[in-house]
Amino acid sequence: MAKSKNDRLMAIREIIATRDIASQEEILSDLVSRGFSLTQATLSRDIKELQIAKVPDGMGNYRYRIAPNTVARQIMPSDAEVTGTSIIRNCAVSIEFSGQIAVLKTRPGYASVVADIVDKSQNEGIMGTLAGDDTVLLVLRANANQRNVVESLSRWLPDITNRVL
């Protein structure tokens, strides 16, 4: 079977996470070189669906980025897929604790996606999260149990247990 829409959406995410992209045309040509076949119109719709935005980077340029607090459930692998092979398992690079703080490193650009997953995990021990580009900060409650937090996260980020620093 040919490349599915989902493959394409994933590829788009990876592209904007990996490179500095300033226009849809750039994404488009990257996609094409990866063997996808589509027009800019479709890409625009994909980007809307993925809640990706063209954001001024403060250095005088623009860059496409995954929107903050994006709930990407639709594109997110299902529970079944999560346990299998998926981008998600590769999103979280490491997690480290220090007092009530945990720093979760992700692949570039994935922080907000991962943060969203963490939020969704509804762990009692987690007060809140803050996502940068490749770093998610977790603030834990004073009485939070570290082991418990990791365990809870592992449902969504299977490998996380092996990535605790």
Partner DNA sequence: ATTGACAATGCAAAAATATGCATTCGTTTT
Partner DNA sequence: AAAACGAATGCATATTTTTGCATTGTCAAT
Binder of its own copies out of 51, 86, 145, 154 (CB under 8 A): 51
Residue 143 carries which DSSP code? T
129 class by beta-carbon count within 10 Å (0-12 exposed, 13-18 middle, 19+ buried): buried
Which of 27, 140, 150, 153 binds its own copies (CB under 8 A)? It is: 140
Q: Which stretch binds DNA (CB under 7 A): 42-50, 65-73, 99-107, 123-131?
A: 42-50
Strand order in the sheet with 101-106: 92-98, 101-106, 135-140, 126-131
Q: Is 134 in the site for its own copies (CB under 8 A)?
A: yes
DSSP output for 33-80 = HTT----HHHHHHHHHHHTEEEEE-SSS-EEEEEPTT---TTTSPPHH
CB of 165 to its own copies, least distance (A): 9
Q: Is 78 in the site for DNA (CB under 7 A)?
A: no
Contact residues: DNA, CB under 7 A? 5, 8, 23-25, 37-42, 44-48, 54, 56, 62
Residue ranges binding its own copies (CB under 8 A): 47-58, 60, 62, 67-71, 96, 98-101, 103, 105, 108, 112, 115, 127-135, 137, 139-142
